[in-house]
Chain A
Amino acid sequence: MSIPLKNPVAALDKAPSFSTRSRNVKIASYVVLSIFSIFYIWPLFMLVNTALRPLTEYLRDPAGLATNPSLANFADAWELANFPQYMLNSAIYTVTATAIFVATSLFVAFPIARGYFKGSGAILTLYVVALFLPPALIPQFQLILNLGLFNTRPGFIMLFLINPIGMIILVNYMKSIPRELDESAAVDGSSYTRFVFSVIFPLIRPAVATVTVLHAIGIWNELILPTIYLTNQDLYPITRGLIVFEGVYGSNWPGIAAAVLMLMLPILVLFMFLQRYIIGGLTAGAVKG
């Protein structure tokens, strides 16, 4: 017997009452988490610390504290690395490619997860094999070149329209959606597309959110492909701008630290926004029983 939940997200927050043993579990959890987070907070602190120092001070004592913390590196990065224009480019590439990828892969993952046609298992294997595939930089380059898309936005975006890892996450997640939903929707006379969009999509929000974030990060942080495929400065993503901090034998690490702290903010915001969806599915109690 199931209890239809009016507000599933809130239900997850409303924990059942616990005994003292559960409170101890909570305390233990905090302890473990705190110890673990030391190894995340400390290096992060060192990164921020590095970004606040001038290069000469950093080189004299890389692990030391900033003596005169200043935001000069951030200002420099903003200017020298051409942040506004390049960030916009990065945003265009990331948003476009992620949107197209998610939209197309939903319709690849679902039939595979349900086994709707013969050979869907083979297609999944094909994607799994893609994970193992060797890097194919030059042949891929020749493909894009022959399509006449070298040094263009669409050509660059094309490189990011696929993500075997994302596909596998989606397929596996979809397998946990009960098939009874299919039956009831078909009985109701729903069409395939409407079913996928309005029933399945909301149920797999955690997976879609996960895949979206991972895919976006992959595009946003990509270093090598822009160097190869985009020679027109107007098209540069923000990672290309970081080159001003490279030296011949060593780099301007404080500058890079400042630049990366700035350029990661949009993705951080995206993650914090999508977290809600990763942790707030609608399946709690909806169908079982």
Chain B
Amino acid sequence: MRWFFRQRPTAFQPGSIAFRLIVAVLAVELVSSILVVGLSFGYERHSHFHAFDVLMHGHIDSILGAVQDADDSAKNLMLVQADLHLPRDDIYEVYDSNGRMLGRSSNWQGIPPNTPAPSQGPSMQLTVNGRPYRVLRFQGSRIIDVAEPGGGKLRQFTILYGAPTNHVWRAIRGAVEFYAAGSLVVLLITGPLIAWLLHRGLLPLRQLASLAAQVSVDSWQFSPPVSAHSTPELAPLTLALENVLHRLEQSFTQQRTFVSDAAHELKTAVAVIKSSLQLLDMKRRTAAEYQAGLERCLADSHRLEEIVAKMLTLAREENTSAAFGPRPASDLTECLDSAVAQLETFAALRDVKVEVAIAFSGVSLVPLIAEDCSLLLTNLILNALQHSPAETLVEIRLAQKGGNAELRIQDHGDGIDPAALPHVFDRFYRGDPARSRNTGGTGLGLAICKAIAERAGGSITIASQPDPALPNQGTTVTVHLPLASDAETGESALPSA
């Protein structure tokens, strides 16, 4: 058994499951051994003493046979001891019904006078010649002198018969000792056997643990052994591990992509500024050229600033841990009005008309802070305006759909390429480079909108079917936001009012 202790010295440390199981099993075994020994003691004592009593009764029967008519005038009885062949150490006494002693074994002086009366029970314990004896009291009756006229006479007498119990106890002890020794041997054999079986039985767990230990930030490969899935105890753990790892990996990949994308954006923005400055420095230029170059550099810095600001906004919006504290609430209708008012000039500049239709019966409170709410709305409306050709319409519809507010913003631009559509909410994704060039987008606006909507427990979808035959079909962005219930708004609406 040494091989596995050497192989895995840590497997049976105190506190380990295997250790606890072994201790538990051994304790149970010990208790059952004690029980077995106790029961066997009781059983052996009973059966040995039963046999002992049967034997003694046999001897009593012999004594009974040895009681004869004394042939005297008083019709007394006598014990004929010459015919008795009883074990040497056994003791006996025979009394007739009058209490007269008929006979007694030679090795006994009778019951000491201070002992309790023999009539108190069928058996008693005595110490004779320094040895424990078991003494039976037998009330016998017998017809003696059957040959006599009248068919003899029924005579009562009492026999006390005792035999030393030493050897009975010895036999009982021997049997109990055998059971105890057997239990001990079983205990000694099963201890290591259980350890070995447990070691084998816990193999799937160890395999799972070692495979799980191989998972790291760089290597997400986790293929649990077949045994892990087929073991009912391990299956939930394995499944949970797989799920956690999968989600972690996704989140890590997402973060890594974000960092890589962000690095790319920032490096590119820095490269623009750096190259602008170096270009300016390449040769001597006129004051006007320097002026224009500096303005370009300033514009480039503004762009870098914008990227950084939007990245920070996105990071803030995606930080879900900020969901604690009192639930914020802001009035969607109010936010929409102010957002439209804010972008009025821009729309006029691009010659785009904005049409707002609000169909709301109740209070349009959504669980967003006012800042986020207006950021969401201005981002979406600005997007629609930027993608609208001149003399077109941007339609904004706000309606109540069950417990949700539904906001639809539709432009009549060129639409979005179906291949690009699934990616428009991706961070730093720019559907059409030509378009983003015109609008100076950072590729973060829609990602921010999505983060805001999802943080409020809502959703955002985009639909577009560009068709060369039917131009200006445009793009429709639909936002669903859960409406704050009246009970909730009762208190949280007050401070904002």
Partners in one complex: no
